[in-house]
A and B are shown apart, each in its own frame.
Chain A
């Protein structure tokens, strides 16, 4: 009986030892614990992914507001000799500055448990016809971290943003730039006024008569200017009419173009030479006089350009009555350009 008791005791000891060893090796509970933890992490990942999508939507909307503000601010600035190249550089810089105001704090989605770190951006604006393509890139991603006891999860999403904005005034900015308007004036002079002209007098009844330079110009232009001052005035007026005519040509589809020509000066240069063949005292009785002139045209002025897009208004920050407000405003564009034409 005593021996049997030792065997039973040894058996019980063995069971106890086995229990201790199994427990120490985590064989019994380990698998169930691992599975539960995985499920918790995956539930968090789902909300984290939504938070990253929410952050991207937040920044895409911020980019739209930033672009409206950049175009509004740049449109109002006093500037000269503007063209799409300068506009592109200025809008890129301003949009970038505006956009990065939205990234100073992290983005919160649903609760403080889901906060997404927002990166700093660089913005490049490219113009194509009347559309502004804005691409915002960052060297960093959107990042969200979730830390629980014994668990840590990090998710990232590419932070690249893109926005295509139809900005109707854009289609006129190059046309109304200094280069664009100088070309319009040059083409107009080329079409309207000749560079060379000649006047001839034939017959002995015209003997001793000579043509004045202005008469040569009058014959070419089919006008009757008394002097060059009058011709210069007419020439400048014709250019102003041509430029002002652009207002009605370009104003369409809710776009209004206002132009004001200022400080206009200019004149018509004339360089003439003549030939005379007088044979009235001879048997032939002929007289021939020819005067040939070369004309040069020059004009300088400033033009104030205002393009209003009356079709739609955008929410922007404005300074009015000494305070800053958020208001819906049209995106106008104002510029003063220098016009300087010498033809030919």
Chain B
């Protein structure tokens, strides 16, 4: 009797293994279908890179025919105050006003000549700015 029971158990084991293999194949194929379904319908919400988006928009802004990126690069010239003082003043006022309204704590500085805003935050980003004469510097953004 015990031999018969042992044989039955082995048959059952063999049968289960076959069933499991079939189930695995079915699950695998179904899972694959589900994965592709998830890929298509997935609604991914990604927080935008705030600093990058903001600084691009800021640098592109045009003031009196000069973009801000050009005005900032032009402070490299020794006599820049005689020529773009108004532009720099306008950039300063616009930034400080918008940061105050939006309650941002941020600062922008370039070449040690211009610094707008103040912040205690340590997060620091650098963006290349072309300078007249074929060189470049970095605009430092904090906050």
Contact = CB atoms under 8 A, between A and B. Distances in A.
The answer to whether A binds B is yes
Interface of A: 2-3, 6-7, 9-11, 13-14, 17-18, 21-22, 25, 27, 30-31, 34-35, 38-39, 42-43, 46-47, 50-51, 53-54, 57-59, 61-62, 64-66, 68-69, 98, 101-102, 105, 107-111, 313, 315-317, 324-328
B78 A64 contact: no
Interface stretch (B90-98, B99-107, B113-121, B123-131): B123-131
Given A31-B38, A111-B125, 14 more contacts: A6-B9, A21-B24, A58-B128, A58-B130, A65-B131, A65-B132, A65-B133, A108-B126, A108-B128, A108-B138, A109-B127, A324-B133, A326-B76, A326-B131
B78 A102 contact: no
**What is the predominant secondary structure among interface residues of chain B facing chain A?**
helix
B59 A57 contact: yes
A7 B9 CA distance: 5
A14 B20 contact: yes
B132 A42 contact: no
A68 B132 contact: yes
B67 A10 contact: no
A231 B69 CA distance: 62
Contact of B12 (A10, A43, A316): A10
Given A61-B67, A107-B128, A2 B2 contact: yes
Contacts of B77: 315, 326-328
A327 B55 CA distance: 27
A10 B10 contact: yes
Interface in B10-37: 10, 12-13, 16-17, 20-21, 24, 27-28, 31, 34-35
A43 B46 contact: yes
B52 A315 contact: no
Contact of B74 (A98, A105, A315): A315
A3 B13 contact: no
Given A39-B44, A47-B52, A317-B134, A18 B128 contact: no
B60 A109 contact: no
Contacts of A46: 46, 48-49
Given A50-B56, A102-B134, A108-B127, A27 B27 contact: yes
A30 B31 contact: yes
A118 to B, nearest CB: 10
B70 interface: yes
Interface string B49-72: 101110110011000000101100
**Size class of B's contact patch?**
35 or more
12 contacts: A3-B2, A13-B13, A21-B21, A22-B27, A31-B34, A31-B35, A42-B44, A58-B128, A61-B69, A107-B128, A110-B125, A110-B126
Contacts of B5: 2-3, 6-7
B20 A54 contact: no
Contacts of B112: none
Contacts of A43: 46
A102 B44 contact: no
A206 B33 CA distance: 123
Contact of A326 (B24, B27, B78, B129): B78
A328 B83 contact: yes
Nearest to A55: B128
Contacts of B2: 2-3
B56 A315 contact: no
Contacts of B82: 328
B3 to A, nearest CB: 10
A59 B44 CA distance: 33
Contacts of A66: 134
B61 to A, nearest CB: 11
Contacts of B42: 35, 38
Contacts of B55: 54, 110
Contact of A14 (B1, B16, B134): B16
Contacts of B78: 325-327
Considering the complex of A and B, which 6 residue pairs feature the smallest CB-CB distances, nearest first?
A: A3-B5, A101-B134, A317-B133, A315-B132, A50-B52, A62-B130
